[in-house]
Structures are given as C-alpha cells and as structure tokens.
Amino acid sequence: MSWYQMHRAVYDWVRVGEVNSDASAGEDPRASFDVSVYELSPEERKAFDNKDIAAFYQLGLHEVLINRYARACGFSREDYRRRLEPLAVKNERKGRWQK
Amino acid sequence: MAEIVLAYASSHAPMMSSQREAATEEQRKNFFGALDFLKEQATERGVQAVVVLSNEHYTNFFLENFPQYCIGLGEKNWGPTEEWLPIDKVWIPGHAGLANHIAQYTLNNGFDPAFSHLLELDHGIMTVYYELDNGMKLPLVPIVQNCAVPPLVPVRRAYEFGKALGDAIRSYDGLERVAVVGAGGLSHWIGNPRVGDINEEFDNWFLGVLESGDLEQVLDMPNEEIELAGNGNHEMRSWLAVAGAVAPTAPKATKLAYEAVYPWITGMAVAYWETQDKGAAADVPAMDDAGRRDASMA
C-alpha cells in the first residue's frame, strides 16, 4: 500500500476541479486527470477507477478527503452513507456528557 | 489599543449556504436569526476587522506540510474555493497589520504559527464570514487550524492559543474595534459510516459548559472522546479558542441558537461572549417558552 500516494492522487483529483474553478468555463478539468503518474497499489488504483469510496475507506483514506471526494464524484450523503454503513464498528465507550 | 468588541462562534456546515431551504423554517429562523443579531451588533459596535478561526479541510495544506495554525497575513485572500458553494468568489480584504501583529505576538509567547500571504478560504470560514458581511468587504484575518489530521493540538492548547490571540489583539494599536469569530462544529460525522448523525446530547452539554464558564470540564478531553460526537467535533477547538481570547473579560458564553439540522448533518449552534461593559447583555433576545431566542426581537 502507498498511503501517501493514494492521498495525493485523490487530493489532486479533487483540487483540479476546484482551484480557480469557474463553473461557466464548461470543460471538466477532472476528465483529463492522469492518475497513472501516482504510485498506487492495484487495490488503490482499482478504488480510484471505480470511484469506490468503501474501498478507499478500508484502505485508510482520510475521512475529510473521502467526504470531499464523494461530493466531487456527485454522490449524495445518503448514498455514500449507504456504501459505508456496512463497515461501521460499534463503539461502546461513553463520553463524560452521557449520564 | 484594539478591543475585542464582538466575539462569537458558529457552526459552518456548507449546506447552510448550499441547501439552506433543507432546514425547516423554524430552524432557519433560529440559526440565521442569531447570526443576523450578531451582524447587527457588528454594525452597531463599529467592527473594523474580524479574525476568523476555522478548520483546515485540505484546502491550503496537504500531507507534505500541515501546520497546526496558519495565520493569513495577506492583503487579500480568495474564496470560497468550493465550486458548488453559492457565495460569490471574490478577493476578500485582509488586514496585514493586525495579522502580522498576531503572528509576531504569538511567536513571542510560546506558539509557532505558520503564515501565508495567500490563503484559499473554503466553507469553513466563508459561510460564517458571509453571514457577517454579505458584501465581503470587512477586512478579514483568517486563521486556519488543524482540526482534522492527526497528530492534533490538544484541546487545552487550542484554548491557550486563543488566549494568546486575544492578548495579541488587545495589544495592537492599529485598530480600535475587532471581532473574533470561531467557525465549525458542533457534532457531526463526515466521510465515515456515521455521516448524517448528530449527537444532540453532546451539543447541549458543550453549550452548557460554555455558558457556565467552567471550561475545565472540556479542556482535558482526549481525541477519542471528542470523536464520540463525530470526527467533525474536533472543530470545537475553534469555539474554545474564542473562549480563550475573551477569557479576561467574558468568561461565560450565551447560547443564541441550537438546532440539530439533520439535512445539514450537523448540530448547528451559535454562541457569543459579551465583551462590552455597556450593559449590552440587555440586547440579547429574550428566550421564548420553548427555550429559543428569536433574534428578530432584538
């Protein structure tokens, strides 16, 4: 696994559509994004090609990036929650505010 | 010397701009009513510049170099960066004098903030700043802090940074009236299986702590416990920084609004700290029977 490269690829893909973005310009700069320059593992490349946020979650992609990536992919929050819910781990710990 | 004439914190869910109507009318009235009240106060008190603290969401920094704090020193900054956020993309005036003073003061007093002469401002700052000044002309000193990428500044350290920030502002002689705003929180989850959940019990407890002024209840909270109210709850650091900034004059906050807005996936709150001696507490809108404050009554 190439943790940094995975983060870099997703971050760059998200950012290329944001930096100095202008919705009226028409062309989607993400369409010509070249992911091959990143040293991704086969699992990471597969997740990228398939826009598989559940796989990215399991591979350890930072959750802030997952959120931005999902939004940039056009997934609704309900949709991406549905994809991630099977991966939830129950936490029994209580906070100090809980009676 | 400058005085902090207005201090508050507000949630900054981007949907407050992009999906405003998804909240109920009552929720919008309460949440935006509180922000409208504060905007009116900013006008009445003649705020000359605002310092806004918010979270860095991988907008300006990435894993090569991720500062815990970065102060925007530039004469102007750009925002909002998100193409979908329905706020005009503009150059927002900075205040280089105040920003440089804050940077030097905090460097002289035990902190090592990074600095930037050009920040991109995302929803974290822009949503709240826009509600303060729709024209986006009020000089803005942005401070982005790391509330997302471990290792994170301990909560107490965030509060202490706020104290240094407040002292810095009060020792600046280039302005007279400054506002300090914290943006982010309260409970929310993003990018994980619990996205969409809100921990109302935590939110109400946290707001109660701020109102009591007994911040020791929260300043030792470890990251694992913070995350029981969501990974987005790390943004409580912005709220506590504001509390620190005004601690000498306003140890207790006043809750202006709290709404668990599920379509915005966030516990949306507004609280402020009264820093003025003029009996301005009388300006706070009264609570109705449901425990809500209607800022339109102000």
- Model confidence at B292, pLDDT cuts 50, 70, 90, reads low
A43, two tokens: 């699992």
Contact B49, B95 (CB under 8 A): yes
This complex has an ipTM of 0.89
- Per-residue model confidence as pLDDT tens digits over B151-181: 999 999 999 999 999 999 999 999 999 999 9
Give me the count of residues in chain A: 99
Please tell me which of the candidates A7, A62, A98 has its beta carbon nearest to residue B201.
Answer: A98
Residue-level pLDDT at A25: 60
pTM for this structure?
0.92
Neighbours of B49 (CB within 10 A): 23
Peptide bond into B121 cis (omega under 30): no
**Token duo for residue A89:** 């781990």
Q: What is the pLDDT of residues B28-50, one digit of tens each?
A: 999 999 999 999 999 999 999 99
- Do B149 and A62 make contact, defined as CB atoms within 8 angstroms? yes
List the one residue out of B192, B207, B190 whose CA is nearest residue B14.
Answer: B190
More confidently predicted of B95 and B278: B95
N- to C-terminal Cα separation, chain A: 42
- pLDDT tens across B55-106, in order? 999 999 999 999 999 999 999 999 998 888 999 999 999 999 999 999 999 9
pLDDT at residue B285, rounded to an integer: 54
Tens of pLDDT along chain A (99 residues) come to 589 999 999 999 998 877 655 545 667 888 889 999 999 999 999 999 999 999 999 999 999 999 989 988 989 888 989 999 999 998 889 999 997
Q: Which pLDDT belongs to residue B284?
A: 54
Q: Which residues of A touch B192 (CB under 8 A)?
A: 57, 63, 66, 84
- pLDDT at B119 exceeding the cut of 50: yes
Position B79 scores a pLDDT of: 95
Which amino acid is present at A84? L
Mean pLDDT throughout B260-280?
89
- Whether chain A has a CB inside 8 Å of the CB on B91: the answer is no
CB atoms B191 and A4 under 8 Å: no
A63–B228 C-beta distance less than 8 A: no
| Residues 146-175 (B) with a CB less than 8 A from some CB of A | 148-149
Average pLDDT over chain B reads: 94
E-assigned strand segments in B17-104: 49-55, 69-72, 76-79, 90-93
Percent composition of chain B: helix, strand, coil (DSSP 3-state, to 5): 40, 20, 40
Contacts of B63 (CB under 8 A, 6+ apart): A4, A7, A8, B149
